Amino acid sequence: MPTAQSPPKLNKASVRKTDSASKKAYNPTAPDRVREILKRLDERYPKATCALTHKSAWELLVATILSAQCTDATVNKVTPELFRKYPTPQAMAALKPEQLEPEIRPTGFFRNKSKSLVGAAKGVVEEFGGKVPGSMDELLSLPGVARKTANVVLGTWFRKAVGVVVDTHVHRISRRLELTRSEDARNIEQDLMKVIPHEKWIEYSHQIIHHGRALCVARKPKCADCPLENLCHAADKTWSTVEIHNNAKP
Ligand code: SF4
């Protein structure tokens, strides 16, 4: 018999049951949780959109190719002069990649990017009559265009939600929020397409990219200021009001 002072004996079976029940209760991709994340992102970043300066699908395609491993701010410094000199796909298609290299050097990886830009320009001119195509398959047929670039152009210019843009911010933060456990961009995109409602695919990426720049930075995220804080169980949080779900870490 337990005395008044001694704690009641716990039935091991019921502890195991309660423990596994509480683990089961937390589902990071539960629709309610995802809906709440999206709602708070809407409130914090109501007008989030693509930060790459562009006036046409062609300019957006060029800027997106240049933005690989480079900040949008640097791309936006380079593109005004680039578009002034070579305003059309035809003008860029007539170049040798080496001629483009000095123009885009500040964006890094300029040799590969020059080849991609001239190749994409030639593809647009020769295969699509000088107009940037508006489908995933057609965009992917252009040299230097992978799913991320195609999704940016389709989502931002054509307003077509064919997939989800997965850049470095979307990759990092979607994992912190446990909306995916994948490391590979293609798998992350597939995971996000399953848990995020279709009508939010375009906005989600824009908002998360803003969030990644403003608060959920790669090192030392600013969790104390984050509107998602009490929904987030990321292992590298810098401040927390919630118990970490160890079993749910990405
Ligand atoms: S709480 Fe921290 S880690 Fe989680 S989303 Fe916000 S800033 Fe990122």
CATH level 2 (architecture), domain 168-248? Orthogonal Bundle (1.10)
Are 155 and 202 contacting, i.e. CB atoms less than 8 angstroms apart?
A: yes
**What does the alpha-carbon distance between residue 45 and residue 51 come to, in Å, rounded to a whole number?**
13
**What does the alpha-carbon distance between residue 177 and residue 161 come to, in Å, rounded to a whole number?**
22
At a CB cut-off of 8 Å and minimum separation 6, what does 29 contact? 178, 179, 194, 195
Give the pLDDT confidence of 81-107 residue by residue, as tens digits: 999 999 999 999 999 999 999 999 999
Q: Which of 19, 32, 115, 167 is catalytic?
A: 167
Fold matches, 57-157 and 168-248: no
Indicate if ligand 1 lies below 6 Å from the C-beta of 212: no
- Per the confidence metrics, is the pTM higher than 0.85? yes
Buried b (16+ CB within 10 A) or exposed e, 147-182: bbbbbbbbbbbbebbbbbbbbebbbbbbbbbbbbeb
Indicate if ligand 1 lies below 6 Å from the C-beta of 50: no
105: phi then psi, degrees, rounded to nearest 5:
-50, -45
Centre of ligand 1 to C-alpha 212, Å, is: 9
Ligand 1 nearest atom to the CA of residue 221, by list position: 7
Centre of ligand 1 to C-alpha 220, Å, is: 9
Q: Is the pLDDT of residue 20 over 90?
A: no
Ligand 1 nearest atom to the CA of residue 227, by list position: 6
Are 72 and 52 contacting, i.e. CB atoms less than 8 angstroms apart?
A: yes
Secondary structure letter of residue 28 according to DSSP = T
Give the pLDDT confidence of 38-70 residue by residue, as tens digits: 999 999 999 999 999 999 999 999 999 999 999
Please report, for the chain, the start and end positions of each structural domain, with discontinuous segments joined by +. Answer: 57-157, 168-248
Q: Which residue has the higher pLDDT, 4 or 94?
A: 94
Q: What is the pLDDT confidence band of residue 241, given thresholds at 50, 70 and 90?
A: confident
Which CATH superfamily includes the segment(s) 57-157?
Answer: Hypothetical protein; domain 2 (1.10.340.30)
At a CB cut-off of 8 Å and minimum separation 6, what does 75 contact? 52, 63, 66, 67, 107
Q: Which residue has the higher pLDDT, 246 or 206?
A: 206
**What does the alpha-carbon distance between residue 138 and residue 133 come to, in Å, rounded to a whole number?**
6
Ligand 1 nearest atom to the CA of residue 229, by list position: 1
Give the pLDDT confidence of 201-214 residue by residue, as tens digits: 999 999 999 999 99
Q: Which of 113, 148, 200, 237 is catalytic?
A: 148
Question: Among 8-22, 97-111, 124-138, 177-191, whose mean pLDDT is lowest?
Answer: 8-22
> Which strand (E) or helix (H) includes residue 57?
helix 57-66
